[in-house]
Chain A
Amino acid sequence: MAAEEEESGLLNRFIEGLLVGDERQAWSLVSGSAELTALAWLARSLRQALRPVEPEPAFRASLHATLVSSAIPARREESWATQHRTELLIGAALGSTLSIAGVVALVLRRRQPARRAA
């Protein structure tokens, strides 16, 4: 388990080096293990295969214009009730509990004189 964690950590540091362009240093991290070296090669291939893709400038500019125009209404700040939903729920639950307790207490109190009278 500890060895696996250590390998995952080394592999992660290798990938970090790969991403910042410090390959030489990165390879030294994994050179001690054939298995890790193989995974490092695969990581390198993935980085090359998944090179970032950028949106077309025309699309990017058009979407920018749409977003900053008034065509899409921004949702207004949420209402007080929405922002304090949790507090309201707790309050409602407490209120309900107290009401039920009150009713139960009332019923019990009414029953007691009846029992005494019996």
Chain B
Amino acid sequence: MSWPESDELLVELARTDRQAFGELYERHVKRVYNYIYYRVSRQQDAEDLTARTFTQALAHLPRYRQQGVPLYAWLLRIAHNLVANWYRDNKRLLVPLEDAGDLGSRDGNPETEAEAGEERRTLLAAVAQLPADRQQLILLRFSEGLKAAEIAVIMGRSEGAVKALLHRTLEGLRKNLSERRPAAGKARTFPFGGR
């Protein structure tokens, strides 16, 4: 079956047709899983929360029309709230990113790989120290690849405010990293890697 390209039309179909909801799921599951994975860092928890996100989306689909936001933004809002509840219920600290899976360099050179892995861990540890909204911003921008305007919809801010917040967040991160690695900061002009 061929489905409409527009999410809006597909949502209308999905209200009565489960296969249409399955198509919506296929379109957005990667993005939702990726966001959750980087927030909770463990595959099992990411899978559990992804399932809960889509189950909740299915249950609340009639409300979607009233939100007036793109579907992916609505789904990421649900995911964001579920992750926040998960942290609250499990009394966890917001420091998961540094434990995220090892996705470092794979160029075959053990030394380069080790260095890249260490840099990545340091960077993710610094990101993990950020307040939740800034972690969310970093993930949406760099991992999800969303534009500032799209993030603005999800975070309920203006596009300009998102750009300014990202700028300030990067400045803060850079400062944090140079404090963590003063020797590296002196040796290089920039905190991470070469061009």
Contact = CB atoms under 8 A, between A and B. Distances in A.
Interface of A: 4-5, 7-9, 11-12, 15-16, 19, 27, 34, 37-39, 41-56, 59-60, 63-64, 66-70, 72-78
Given A42-B192, A67-B22, A50 B47 contact: no
A42 B29 contact: no
A99 B142 CA distance: 58
Nearest to A55: B33
Contacts of A43: 142, 170
Q: DSSP majority for the A interface?
A: helix
Interface in B138-195: 138-139, 141-145, 147-148, 160, 163-164, 166-167, 170-171, 173-174, 177, 189-193, 195
Contacts of A52: 30, 34, 143-145
A12 B46 CA distance: 29
A5 B15 CA distance: 43
Nearest 4 Cβ contacts at the A-B interface: A45-B192, A41-B190, A50-B143, A8-B167
Given A45-B119, A77-B62, A51 B143 contact: yes
Contacts of A72: 55, 58-59
Contact of B163 (A12, A56, A63, A78): A12
Contacts of B195: 27, 41
A42 B190 contact: yes
A63 B54 CA distance: 9
B120 interface: yes
A78 B64 CA distance: 12
A19 B144 CA distance: 10
Contact of B61 (A5, A45, A70, A74): A74
A50 B37 CA distance: 11
A59 B49 CA distance: 12
Contacts of A75: 59-62
A37 B167 contact: no
